[in-house]
Amino acid sequence: MNPLTVEWVEKADGDYATAQRELRARKQPNFDAACFHAQQCAEKYLKAILHEHGVVVPKSHNLISLLELCLAVDSTFEPWRNSLVLLDHYSVRFRYPGESAKRAEARRAVDTVTPLRLFVRSRLDLV
């Protein structure tokens, strides 16, 4: 695997660990951060796929745009569209005053990114 792809995977796994940690926190959990880091995990895993296939990785946070690029090199990503639509909302939804995530929302974000993460890891032969 390309060294930069490995870095994308490591960054994605760091976001995944942070999302899980915030979801499990007993004292002062940050459910906003759990949602955000779930989205970031998905974003970085999609970028890992793109990089590994020699596609220039755009400076975009839009998961659907990244999905479209991934589909050009691997059609097996199509079933993940609905999950990516959900996760895409977490890039900014809870980042500013006016709305905060609850535990159930954070659980949904982590539960959504977990199988996606496993799928991408399998596509990268990391399982």
Q: Got the DSSP string for 26-68?
A: SSS--HHHHHHHHHHHHHHHHHHHHHHTTPPPPS---HHHHHH
d(CA 34, CA 13): 13
- pLDDT tens profile 42-85: 999 999 999 999 999 999 999 999 999 999 999 999 999 999 99
Q: Considering the domain delimited by 3-123, tell me its CATH architecture.
A: Up-down Bundle (1.20)
Give residue 93's pLDDT: 87
Q: What is the pLDDT of residues 83-122, one digit of tens each?
A: 999 999 998 888 889 999 999 999 999 999 999 999 999 9
Q: Please report, for the chain, the start and end positions of each structural domain, with discontinuous segments joined by +.
A: 3-123
Rounded CA Rg of the chain: 14
**pLDDT beyond 90 at 20:** yes
Which residues are CB-contacts of 26 (< 8 A; sequence separation ≥ 6)?
none
Q: DSSP state, 96? A: S
**pLDDT number for residue 16:** 98
pTM score of the predicted model: 0.96
